[in-house]
Amino acid sequence: MDNSIDDLILRLTAERGGEKSICPSEVARLLGNPWQRHMTSVRQTAFRLAREGRIEVLRKGKKVENLDEVRGVIRLRIAPGAADT
């Protein structure tokens, strides 16, 4: 199993499907303890993948349109059509 942050985010969001989302902490926990030290890297990677159109970042159940302004708790979901590629 590849443990790069990109691969973990893409695999977990694809497994969860387009109707459900994952918490970034799920990815961080797979990277090892203490998992909290991985959160910044996971969030930064998630934002990059969202800019590439591969995933969506959600805040309060809605897609975040401006990733530069997002703060607080987020969730991640596979982008529509991304699981097909």
Task: Please give the DSSP secondary-structure letter assigned to residue 69.
Answer: S
Q: What confidence tens digit (pLDDT) does each residue in 15-66 have? A: 999 999 999 999 999 999 999 999 999 999 999 999 999 999 999 999 999 9
**Cβ–Cβ contacts within 10 Å for residue 40, how many?**
11
Query: Which amino acid is present at 31?
Result: L
For residue 83, the model assigns a pLDDT of 66
Q: How confident is the model at residue 1 (pLDDT cuts 50, 70, 90)?
A: very low
> Residue 42 sits in which domain range?
5-84
For residue 26, the model assigns a pLDDT of 97
Write down the pTM of the prediction.
0.90
Please give the angle made by the CA atoms of 26, 22 and 77, to the nearest 5 degrees. 140
Domain count, the chain: 1
Residues in the chain: 85
Single out the residue of 85, 15, 73, 19 nearest to residue 46, CA to CA: 73
Check which CATH number belongs to the domain holding 74 and give it: 1.10.10.10
CB of 39 closer than 8 Å to CB of 45: no
Q: What confidence tens digit (pLDDT) does each residue in 68-80 have? A: 999 999 999 999 9
